[in-house]
Amino acid sequence: MKRNIISSLFIIIGLVLMVSSLGIRMYSKNKEAQLIKEFNNDIALENSKNDDKNHDKNYGKQKRKTIRYTNGDGDKIAIMEIPSISLQSIIVEGTNMDDLRYYLGHFKDTAMPGINGNFSIAGHSSTIYNEILNELYKVNIKDEIKIKTLTGEYDYIITKKFVVEPSEIGVLDQDENKKSMTIVTCTDKGKKRLIVKAEMKK
């Protein structure tokens, strides 16, 4: 009898954990979808400004400088799409752990999209929160990455995919002679880091 009660308790606990995990993932996806919608609206508004004949022709250059240097933690900076794995996600400034539960994060002090340097981002491969990069391992060399920002859209082509130790921060090094991109996520149950490198289309 006691054994049956214990077995029942384990089953109930398992179901509660499963439902809780599902609820967290659904909340995470809804939160991300809302932010993507908001950012697309921001892009549409920006485009309408650029279509205004009286709009300052230097606005784009000014905005590009602003977007690089004045973003605060958690601010939306771009939408990333990888068509080959049906991925679409928002990128926010910074790699705060709370933000990474729901979005991709931009490493501070690395380049912004479309300019010289190494535009570097991180995201979770998780079964609890928003599993944004769970299928990143499926990408192939020459797959395309699309980055949409307030100042334009940028296409990158994947050039490398490899695994490193968590201490290998050299993958974030900046090369000001080219426009590149790095995506970092966990693999091997968090013991390693999967790295995807890409370069902007010329």
In the chain the domains, ranked by start, together with CATH numbers, are 2-200 (2.40.260.10)
CA–CA dist 102, 48 (Å, integer): 29
List residues with catalytic annotation.
124, 186
Is residue 49 classed as helix, strand or coil in its secondary structure? helix
Is the CB of residue 118 less than 8 Å from the CB of residue 129? Answer: no
Tens of pLDDT along 159-192?
999 999 999 999 999 999 999 999 999 998 889 9
pLDDT of 59 higher than 70: no
The whole model's pTM is what? Answer: 0.75
CB atoms within 10 A of CB 53: 4
Is the CB of residue 183 less than 8 Å from the CB of residue 123? Answer: yes
Residue with tokens 């395309």: 144
pLDDT of 34 higher than 60: yes
Round the average pLDDT of the chain to a whole number and report it: 80
Report which listed range, 59-63, 94-98, 124-128, 181-185, is most confident: 181-185
Distances (CA, A) of 154 to 86, 112, 172: 18, 11, 19
CA–CA dist 13, 153 (Å, integer): 47
Model confidence at 102, in pLDDT bands (50, 70, 90)? confident
pLDDT of 151 higher than 80: yes
Residue with tokens 């201490």: 167
